[in-house]
Chains A and B, each alone.
Chain A
Amino acid sequence: GNSVTQMEGPVTLSEEAFLTINCTYTATGYPSLFWYVQYPGEGLQLLLKATKADDKGSNKGFEATYRKETTSFHLEKGSVQVSDSAVYFCATPGYSSASKIIFGSGTRLSIRP
Chain B
Amino acid sequence: DGGITQSPKYLFRKEGQNVTLSCEQNLNHDAMYWYRQDPGQGLRLIYYSQIVNDFQKGDIAEGYSVSREKKESFPLTVTSAQKNPTAFYLCASSDGAGGNQPQHFGDGTRLSIL
Residues of A within 8 A of B (CB): 31-32, 34, 41-46, 49, 51, 89, 92-96, 98-106, 108
Q: Is the CB–CB distance between B98 and A93 below 8 Å?
A: yes
Secondary structure call for the A interface: loop
Among the stretches B63-71, B75-83, B101-109, the one at the interface with A is B101-109
Q: Is the CB–CB distance between A46 and B43 below 8 Å?
A: no
Contacts between the two chains (Cβ within 8 Å), count: 70
Q: Is the CB–CB distance between B42 and A100 below 8 Å?
A: no
Q: Is the CB–CB distance between A100 and B45 below 8 Å?
A: yes
Q: Is the CB–CB distance between A99 and B107 below 8 Å?
A: no
Q: Determine if B50 is an interface residue (Cβ-Cβ < 8 Å).
A: yes
Contacts of B99 in A (CB 8 A): 31-32, 92-96, 98-102
**Contact flags B85-108 to A (C-beta < 8 A → 1, else 0):** 000001010100111111111111
